[in-house]
Structure 1
Amino acid sequence: MSMPKLHILLVDDKLSMLKIQHGLLNRFGHSVVAVSSASEAITILTNQLQKANFDLVLMDMQMPEIDGLEAARMLRSRGVTTPILALTGNDCDDHRKEAAEAGMNGYLTKPLNETKLSSAWVSIN
């Protein structure tokens, strides 16, 4: 399954996961900006709102301070329409439902791979 090369905002508080996922996304040919907190992502996305720079946000669901669900709610309430995919190690229906209710467009489980990302991208477009 082929997909366009995207400009992605990657958000994960675990630096080891951030590094691994960033490397994978680069290997898939995507341009990636990686941040380690939801507050950084909110700042970037709300500052870039007029430019609509990012094609996709990959947001870890479980982070300290502001988790991915709350970050998605905050972004949607501020008018950010960039697609957001939840990124989590837990694959369960409750988490999928919570992600959708928070305004996320889809759900990916770790470890990330090109097939999962491509399928999720197709499903939201």
Structure 2
Amino acid sequence: MSLILCKKHGEVGLIPTVSAMLSHGIKQETVIADDIGITHIKLIDEGELLGEKIYFFHNKFDNLKPFYLIDDDKSDQYFSQEISQIFSGGGHCVYCFKEYMEQIKFDLNNLPAPSGLTI
């Protein structure tokens, strides 16, 4: 996990799977729970599950599918192209993200895969 220097929490973990537009909206406190979309990623290599991840994005500005299966170079390249613009400049302080999600009552407990919100 990367570290950032948060104005509120000091040196803390960064959740990199938050889109730039969602992060901006959270900082401006303009995001509501219905604005948040998630994308579930499954990484498979030679039939073996390597991992799963959740990406968070802003429904009004970002356009992602709800699920991506990455099981070869072609699907990996396709996914990388899909997210490159959306997540460039994104990421958010883990504590700020969790606090804001609680504030707007977005349930982080029932996600289909790990979210990277380990503190």
Greater RCO structure (CA 8 Å; 6+ sep): 2
More strand by share: 2
Larger radius of gyration: 2
Q: Fold-level match, TM-score > 0.5? A: no
More helix by share: 1
TM-score for the superposition, normalised by structure 1: 0.27
